[in-house]
Amino acid sequence: MTLKNASILIIDDDLDVLTAVRLLLKMEAKEVVTEKNPENIRNILSKQTFDVIMLDMNFNSSINTGNEGLFWLRKIKELGSQAAVIMITAYGDIDLAVRSLKDGASDFVVKPWHNERLIDTIKEALRKKDSNKADNGKSKSDIIGTELLGDSEVMRDIFYKIEKIAPTDANILILGENGTGKDLIAKAIHQQSLRTSKPFVKVDVGALTDSLFESELFGYKKGAFTDAREDRMGRFESANGGTLFLDEIGNISLRQQAKLLTVLQNRQINRLGSLDNIPIDIRLICATNVPMVELANEQRFRKDLVYRINTVEITMPPLRKREDDIILLASHFSKVYTDKYMKPGLALAKSAIEKLRQYHFPGNVRELQYTIERAVIMSEGDELQAKDLIFSPIEATRDVPQEEDDFKLSNIERNTILKVIEKHNGNITKAAKELGLTRTALYRRLNKYDI
């Protein structure tokens, strides 16, 4: 990959550094994004992929390790970013910068630097990244068998379908409840596609307001609106040549659906404030927790858009229908978190296995993952016991016979809040709206009832 086609993220709490590097690279790279607060890294990388990340070694942040750069480098790697990371360091921290190379950094630059040297370092990092990709082949990046696990018949069918459809350019619609792993399916399809060397860009479109929808997806020109201080590329352009993953597609408004349909039909976008047509070449993957029968309701979702995004459909089953995979996944998460929290040899006891098999996991794989992580953290023995496994308190009230106490006004209010939060899969904003409360008022009640 050339620097001209690269997307670069710069993370430094020195605004002068951010401004200087952005101005230097603005004409050299395809896209330059700057960020002052490293605690926003998770949010940024969940929405966009980068080819290069420039990361400062020291921040004035809430993380006080003495070597914040190494901490955030590990976080970037844990989040699965394939970007080449270049550390920014002062002369006195060169020893730490050298250590960062062992932790996965591609290179480091010392402040102050010569501009030509910095550009050469970025170009070399891109060259190394391409070289490693060629050497390692597709199997290195394949998440099936490492993150996306399953030995049940239904999962074997899904793996077969991924293998068949990934090399095509067919649009994919992934259906399934929250927490089933729809995003992992999308990543697996991209990694086994012919576009694997190109960007994979994820957008949670369900969280975008009408005012943000166009600017985030299609970009904007400087001056298009009050805060548009410079040209910005949208997610469609960022994904050009690669895969665009639109998550929670079932939650977008009819107005947003119409704009999206126009772009998908014409295969071109217009940045806000511009009349220029920009052609796009993307593979589209969409996902939603809305059942297909609801998507077929034209009062909620346009049928012509459903047909456009649904060339091939994949339905991720809930974990309760993958009973054969529960212990496999639990053992996997146990290994991940015993390594992370340095508790080696902490296996699942028979009592824990039995408790896992009897539970219905309304939160699916995500709930299982968080349950195991919490158990590993809190465990004080040599094994994870049944008592270490604490499931969702929202679901704990299900199927419990009602007592006379349940009809007290306070209990009725508590149970109503629980049911509405459950209905909206833990989304506090939506739950508050249905209950006729502000988010603040709902949080006060959650504290009051110890929910």
CATH of domain 3-135: 3.40.50.2300
State whether residue 200 is helix, strand or coil.
strand
* pLDDT for 408: 56
Q: Where are the domains of the chain?
A: 3-135, 157-315, 319-392, 396-448
CB of 280 closer than 8 Å to CB of 260: no
Measured in whole angstroms, the distance separating CA 410 from the mean position of its chain's CA atoms is 38
pLDDT, residue 200, reads: 93
Other CB atoms within 10 Å distance of the CB of residue 360: 12
Question: E strand or H helix at 31, and its extent?
Answer: strand 31-35
Q: Angle 15-25/115-136 helices, nearest 10 degrees? A: 70
Please check whether the two domains, 3-135 and 157-315, share a CATH topology: yes
Please state, in angstroms and rounded to a whole number, the distance separating the CA atoms of residues 11 and 44. Answer: 11
The alpha helices in 79-191, defined as continuous H runs, are 94-102, 115-136, 153-165, 182-191
Cβ pair 321, 176 in contact under 8 A: no
Question: In this predicted structure, what is the pLDDT of residue 92?
Answer: 59
Q: Which fold has domain 319-392?
A: Helicase, Ruva Protein; domain 3 (1.10.8)
pTM for the complete prediction? 0.60
* Spatial separation of the C-alpha atoms in residues 368 and 329, rounded to whole Å: 8
H/E run at residue 243: strand 243-247
| Confidence (pLDDT) at 244 | 96
Give the Cβ contact number of residue 345 at 10 Å. 7
Q: What is the pLDDT of residue 429?
A: 84
How far apart (Å, rounded) are the C-alpha atoms in residues 356 and 136?
37
Average pLDDT, 10 consecutive residues per value, the chain (451 residues): 89 90 90 91 87 86 63 85 88 70 83 86 86 53 79 91 91 94 95 91 89 89 81 90 94 93 93 90 94 83 91 92 92 91 87 92 93 91 90 54 49 78 78 82 74 70
Which class does domain 157-315 fall in?
A: alpha beta
Please state which architecture CATH assigns to domain 396-448: Orthogonal Bundle (1.10)
